[in-house]
Amino acid sequence: MSGDTEIDPGDPGAVSAPGPLPPAGVPTARSTGGQEVVFPDRSRYHEVVAAYRDGGFEMLSDLCATDYLTHPGRVLPDGVVPERFEVVVELLSLSARRRVRVRVQVAESDLVIDSLFDLFAGAEAMEREVFDMFGIRFDGHPDLTRILMPEDWEGFPLRKDYGVGRVPVQFKEAPGPR
């Protein structure tokens, strides 16, 4: 095992402060529960995550997306323009025992965002899931195909304008499937 990943869970003295984070010019906020959240621009997304990785956030613990179609009035810090989609990345620092969340606005008109695959190989399946469920494309992803839905599926199920499936009921005037 390499030296830079070595941590000791029993000794709080081993906790070291990461570098100058967040990078300058990136709006930040605190989420419910007090976790740090940064809101980089889509153009700076990759660069910001790279800065965090170099600053001691060794693991990408989660990557998902949210469709804010029916909830546009959410609270965002100054300087962040709300868009329909948001990609949410959860980074974890094992050495500092800290989490940071990265929320990036992705416009509906241009659903492309940089892939984090070159920084964290673990992003592979998670980005494929986001593509599958929301139709957001990841630039630089090696194999952007559907992962949970069948290959020939139409539509992106977790979008808010995608209907909820129904089991057809054999009653008069019952709603049909979807």
Q: Does 101 engage in binding with another protein (CB under 8 A)? A: yes
Q: Does 118 engage in binding with another protein (CB under 8 A)? A: yes
Q: Which residue has the tokens 């989609």?
A: 85
The single residue among 76, 80, 88, 111 that binds another protein, judged by CB under 8 A, is: 88
Q: Does 10 engage in binding with another protein (CB under 8 A)? A: yes
The single residue among 24, 78, 145, 171 that binds another protein, judged by CB under 8 A, is: 145
Q: Does 12 engage in binding with another protein (CB under 8 A)? A: no
Helix and strand counts by DSSP (H, E) for the chain:
2, 7
The residue among 42 and 101 lying less far from another protein, judged by its C-beta, is 101
Cα distances from 123 to residues 18, 61, 77, 114, in angstroms, run 22, 9, 27, 11
Return d(Cα 143, Cα 125) in angstroms, integer. 9
In the complex, the smallest distance separating the C-beta of residue 124 from another protein, rounded to whole angstroms, is 5
Give the residue among 79, 98, 100 at the shortest CA–CA distance from 89. 100
Q: Does 121 engage in binding with another protein (CB under 8 A)? A: yes
- 96 pairs with which residues across the strands? none
Cα distances from 137 to residues 41, 44, 119, in angstroms, run 16, 17, 17
Q: Which residues form the interface with another protein (CB under 8 A)?
A: 1-2, 5, 7-10, 31-33, 35, 58-62, 64, 66-67, 70-71, 74-75, 88, 90, 94, 97, 99, 101, 117-126, 129, 133, 142-143, 145-152, 157-158, 164-165
